[in-house]
Amino acid sequence: MTGLLVEAGEDDLDRIRRWRNHPSVRRVSFTTHEIGAEEHRRWFDAVRADPSRRVLVYRHGGVPAGVVLFSDIDVEAGSAEWHFYLDVEGLGRDTLPAWLKLEGAAVDYGFDVLGLNLLGGATLADNRQVLQLHKRFGFTETRRYVREVDGEPREVVWTELRAADRRTRKKR
């Protein structure tokens, strides 16, 4: 399934920013302001220059349809954090199938390509759909904490998936 994810390139820059700035994506993000072209360029260049981070484009039916971000990749510890978002406007009725395939491809990439032992992620507690999706893929909640988002305290759920648990789940 990892063939659905490709390294982001220059031609992806504008579409990634458009997806990220969609109101429904911003509403469930830790950074909720609309991101300008210069800010996005700085972020994109920094991610591409940092070996502990990856930005990948998810292709659904051969068409760019989402982004998977890996950060804090620690090769020695075999761990990383991940995030994602989709082209919710462009996918329309295909959003749910794309969501499922993206998460599967991201998990496969994390364990099979990056060689991780542990993949974790932070989700706003009120983003129940994403938390349910993570649970479906075997992620478990390990802690909750409060983080400030736009000056307001927000509850965050940290979920993790271990390589051994993924292997067990894949055998079923």
Q: What is the mean pLDDT of residues 147-153?
A: 94
Provide the 3-class DSSP secondary structure of residue 102.
helix
Instruction: Give yes or no for residue 121 having a pLDDT over 80.
Output: yes
**What's residue 88's pLDDT?**
78
Give the domain range for residue 84: 2-171
**What's residue 96's pLDDT?**
82
pTM of the full structure: 0.90
**What's residue 168's pLDDT?**
56
**What's residue 159's pLDDT?**
98
Q: Calculate what percentage of the chain has a pLDDT beyond 90.
A: 81
Provide the 3-class DSSP secondary structure of residue 62.
coil
Tally of structural domains, the chain: 1
Q: Which helix (H) or strand (E) holds 26?
A: helix 23-26
Rounded Cα–Cα distance for residues 30 and 127 (Å): 12
**What's residue 172's pLDDT?**
46
**What's residue 1's pLDDT?**
46
**What's residue 111's pLDDT?**
96
Express each pLDDT in 58-94 by its tens digit: 999 889 999 999 999 999 999 999 999 988 788 778 8
Q: What is the mean pLDDT of residues 44-61?
A: 96
Query: Please, what is the average pLDDT of the chain?
Result: 92
Distances (CA, A) of 39 to 34, 44, 87: 10, 9, 20
Per DSSP, 168 falls in state H
CATH number for 51: 3.40.630.30
Q: What is the mean pLDDT of residues 33-42?
A: 97
Q: What is the mean pLDDT of residues 35-44?
A: 97
**What's residue 104's pLDDT?**
94
